[in-house]
Chain A
Amino acid sequence: MSAAERVFGLLLRAYPAEFRAAYSREMMMVFRDQRRAGAGGVRFWAECGWDVVRSAPPLRVESWQSRWQMDNQLTEGAAMRKTMAVLSIVIGAIETLNALVEFRAASAVGLDTTALVIVTLGVLVGVLLIASGIVLASRSPKSQVLPLVAAIACLAVFALIPRMSIFSKMLGIGFPIALLLFLRFGRGQPTRTVA
């Protein structure tokens, strides 16, 4: 690399990193072509400098804007994830407690098989929801699978079990649907435009 190319390489540092990643090779090639065609001297370098002064700041501003928009989208996604994680843990804990209370009540009058199955399923769903909340909060790469399983299990259990209050059913069916919608649409993945 010639001294002139090294200087031009330094000038390119005025441009944002993503722009350089996309175009610096081509810009250097153009510079080499210009040099081969006889460009040089004070006027040429003044034009190069002026071109950088004119074109780099708007590209920097565009880069900051696009990064800012992306950060905002990520922040919204993170807030939604946190909300879903907290709701999942709280509802899971309520479901588990509710199942245990029902188990205690049923034990007092004699526990039949159906009641035992309902209590077991209730505890299972509650624990699954708590685990989903923890996974969602931890941003684990596997955070899709467990909440999905929990939401489907929750829906299945609460749709099938008839002995539940309307409130329990609304919570047990409404939340998994919200969780499924969040997993599908609300994970905060930015719809990124090429910067």
Chain B
Amino acid sequence: MAKATETGRTPESHLPLRPATFQILMALVDGERHGYSIMTEVSERSEHTVRLGAGTLYGSLKRLLEDGLVEEAGERSDAELGDERRRYYRITKFGLSVAKA
């Protein structure tokens, strides 16, 4: 039996995941990423068949944060993209178990 979170929900209760949500979780499996990095990773992983728009990306991230599948990992700049501080996101253990389920 899968372990439930603090809210009492099991990984299975989050299934089936929406395609965008699944893609975002998979993009975060390798490590922390900011929004644009998630977007490009999803596009590359799907060989450019899935293209997330900003609204879909942040709408999904908002729900993932609320459900405890993803957490914020602070703000910092990305050397490749300039000095602007970007918010990074990381997958939680629970998020990982949902992605595996």
Which A residues contact B (CB, under 8 angstroms)? Answer: 15, 19, 22-23, 26-27, 29-31, 33-34, 36, 47-48, 50-52, 54-56, 58-59, 193-194
- Complex formed: what's the CA distance from A19 to B59 in Å? 8
The reply to whether A47 and B53 form a contact with Cβ atoms under 8 Å apart is: yes
The reply to whether A55 and B59 form a contact with Cβ atoms under 8 Å apart is: yes
Nearest chain-B residue to A23 (Cβ)? B58
Residues of A within 8 A of B51 (CB): 47
Interface on chain B toward A: helix, strand, loop, or mixed SS? helix
Task: Please judge, given known A-B contacts A29-B84, A30-B35, A193-B66, whether A56 and B54 are in contact too, CB under 8 Å.
Answer: no
Residues of B within 8 A of A54 (CB): 53, 55-56
17 CB-based A-B contacts, threshold 8 Å: A15-B55, A22-B62, A26-B34, A26-B58, A29-B35, A29-B84, A30-B39, A33-B81, A34-B36, A47-B51, A48-B53, A48-B54, A51-B55, A52-B55, A55-B59, A58-B59, A194-B66
How far apart are B30's CB and chain A's nearest CB, in angstroms?
19
Given contacts A23-B61, A33-B81, 4 further A-B contacts (CB under 8 A): A26-B87, A27-B35, A29-B36, A31-B54
Residues of B within 8 A of A47 (CB): 51, 53
Nearest chain-A residue to B56 (Cβ)? A55
- Complex formed: what's the CA distance from A58 to B59 in Å? 9
| B65 touches A (CB below 8 Å) | yes
The reply to whether A29 and B86 form a contact with Cβ atoms under 8 Å apart is: yes
| B57 touches A (CB below 8 Å) | yes
- Complex formed: what's the CA distance from A184 to B22 in Å? 42
Interface on chain A toward B: helix, strand, loop, or mixed SS? helix
Which 8 pairs of residues, A with B, have the shortest CB-CB distance? Answer: A51-B53, A55-B55, A33-B36, A27-B54, A23-B58, A55-B59, A51-B55, A30-B54
- Complex formed: what's the CA distance from A191 to B81 in Å? 39
The reply to whether A51 and B54 form a contact with Cβ atoms under 8 Å apart is: yes
- Complex formed: what's the CA distance from A65 to B54 in Å? 23
Residues of A within 8 A of B35 (CB): 26-27, 29-30
- Complex formed: what's the CA distance from A22 to B35 in Å? 13
